[in-house]
A and B are shown apart, each in its own frame.
Chain A
Amino acid sequence: MSENEPEDLEGLLARGEEEPALSLLKSALRDVPHPERSLLPKIQDRIRLRTRGRYFRSRYSRSLDPIPLLLIVCLLVLLLLTAIFLVFQPLASDPVPHPLPPAPIDPLTAPSP
């Protein structure tokens, strides 16, 4: 229907008769209370209980988006490896000195017995 095309009779009657009542209804239902926090954890709990732990058992499966969690894990592993490297690196760069083997004896210069 184009904007200038007249509405049908039912539409006009309905609008004329009921618009104030509708606005009253809308304003009455405008202020809806909200749950204090997301219902997601409770929903996950219910599903876990009803599926006997088949779903939403692990912390990983309950996370909303696994990518940040994976990133955090990767970062922690990286930090741990760096720490290990820093602790053991001085030991690796300062090896225990081995005694030098005795120099070969030159028969020409060596003092005769």
Chain B
Amino acid sequence: MDSTEPDLEFDVRFVQRLQRRDEHAFSSLVVAYEKRIFQLVWRMLGSKEEAEDLTQEVFVQVFRSIHSFRGESKLSTWLYRIAVNLAKNRTMYLARRHQRSHEDIVDAESVDAHERAQGITAGETRRPDLDLVGSRTERAVLECLLDLDAEHRELLVLRDVECLSYEEVGAITGLLPGTVKSRLHRARGLLKQAVEARLGEKVP
């Protein structure tokens, strides 16, 4: 966690106000964390519209279930856990929807079109947001990250991009720190392979 983190973490009274459904306390929480939650979710989904929508859902979920927060982890860790779980669910939903719409298209179009569409994967669908991202290599990295399965992607984002400790990543994902390390190692390898395959050259 960075040093600019809001000073709400250990404020028991603040959490108690949240648990009493204090609207002003909740608004302060949103203002303090919305940017970070949005960034995390965008890194998991790769779409600004989806990230905006999901960030709102995260805070609605927080408002609904704040009474279950026991203070065993940091408030930010708890928020991250909700965000990561919702992002995973959304990813699965979007993948299913994409699969369904792809099947619909296949049903509707001719055999020639079917043949043209063969081989297209979710990873090869166009993502306009990513056109804004830096170099060709960076775009490839981002596209490959989004094509990884949700478990590997969340580990890479939480540990390598958000720079959380193994313990924090474990608390968010429900994995032991040792498991986090081994899966992270595998995730990095998979990402590297995918990027190399996409670029057709070796990544350092």
B145 within 8 A of A: yes
Of all chain B residues, the one with the shortest Cβ separation from A17 is B188
Contact status B160-A25, CB under 8 Å = yes
B120 within 8 A of A: no
> By the criterion of a CB under 8 Å from any partner CB, how many residues of chain A are at the interface?
35
A4 within 8 A of B: no
Which residues of A are found within 8 Å of B134, using beta-carbon distances?
27-28, 30-31
- Complex Cα–Cα for A21 and B24 (A): 43
Tell me whether A65 and B160 are in contact in the complex, defined as CB-CB below 8 angstroms, given that A32-B39, A33-B48, A40-B34 are known contacts: no
Which residues of A are found within 8 Å of B137, using beta-carbon distances?
24, 28
B147 within 8 A of A: no
Query: In the complex, how many angstroms separate the beta carbon of B195 from the nearest chain A beta carbon?
Result: 8
Residues of B contacting A: mostly: helix
Contact status B27-A25, CB under 8 Å = no
Which residues of A are found within 8 Å of B30, using beta-carbon distances?
38-40, 43
B 20-55 to A, binary, CB cutoff 8 A, 1 in contact else 0: 010110011011001100110011000010001001
Contact status B145-A28, CB under 8 Å = yes
B122 within 8 A of A: no
- Complex Cα–Cα for A97 and B39 (A): 77
Which residues of A are found within 8 Å of B28, using beta-carbon distances?
64-65
Query: In the complex, how many angstroms separate the beta carbon of B33 from the nearest chain A beta carbon?
Result: 11
> By the criterion of a CB under 8 Å from any partner CB, how many residues of chain B are at the interface?
43
B90 within 8 A of A: no
Query: In the complex, how many angstroms separate the beta carbon of B143 from the nearest chain A beta carbon?
Result: 9
Which residues of A are found within 8 Å of B185, using beta-carbon distances?
14
Which residues of B are found within 8 Å of A62, using beta-carbon distances?
23, 27
Contact status B188-A39, CB under 8 Å = no
B91 within 8 A of A: no
Which residues of B are found within 8 Å of A90, using beta-carbon distances?
none
In the complex, chain B residues 178-199 whose Cβ is within 8 Å of any chain A Cβ: 181, 185, 188, 191-192, 195
Residues of A contacting B: mostly: helix
Tell me whether A24 and B138 are in contact in the complex, defined as CB-CB below 8 angstroms, given that A32-B43, A55-B21, A64-B27 are known contacts: yes
B63 within 8 A of A: yes
A98 within 8 A of B: no
Of all chain A residues, the one with the shortest Cβ separation from B52 is A35
Contact status A27-B34, CB under 8 Å = no
The stretch among A44-52, A76-84, A105-113 that forms the contact with chain B is A44-52
**Chain A residues near B (Cβ < 8 Å):** 10, 14, 18, 20-22, 24-35, 38-40, 42-44, 46-47, 50, 55-56, 61-66
**Chain B residues near A (Cβ < 8 Å):** 21, 23-24, 27-28, 30-31, 34-35, 38-39, 42-43, 48, 52, 55-57, 59-60, 63, 129, 132-134, 137-139, 141-142, 145, 156-157, 160-161, 181, 185, 188, 191-192, 195, 203-204
Closest 5 A/B residue pairs (Cβ): A28-B141, A28-B138, A20-B204, A61-B23, A43-B59
